[in-house]
Amino acid sequence: MDVPNLVDILTLLARGVGVGAVIAFLFEKMDWFQRATPRARWWIIFSISLALPVLAQAALLFIPADAWTAIEVWWRALATGFLVWAGSQVVHRLVNSK
């Protein structure tokens, strides 16, 4: 399974690509977020929409290149696990939608 490297993912997040998808994924099923008032949810989404690209850019600027090499093997394991989980969720929905 070919997984995009972490620097590429952070570069996309720093440009704002996929930030909304990350936020939706993180908060869609969280009860505490769903119970929050619409105003609180607005502020949470607004804050994360600003913070995620800034944090991604900071990581790209301040983490040395050799550290990315050391982190990459762990990122690939984590990302592969996430992709396997996501695939299982798709299959689960397909099988149980009938």
pTM over 0.85: no
- pLDDT band at 54, cuts 50/70/90? very high
For residues 35-60, give the mean pLDDT: 94
Q: What is the mean pLDDT of residues 13-25?
A: 87
How far apart CA 59 and CA 62 sit, in angstroms, is 5
Give the rounded distance of the alpha carbon of 72 from its chain centre: 16
Instruction: Choose between 97 and 53: higher pLDDT.
Output: 53
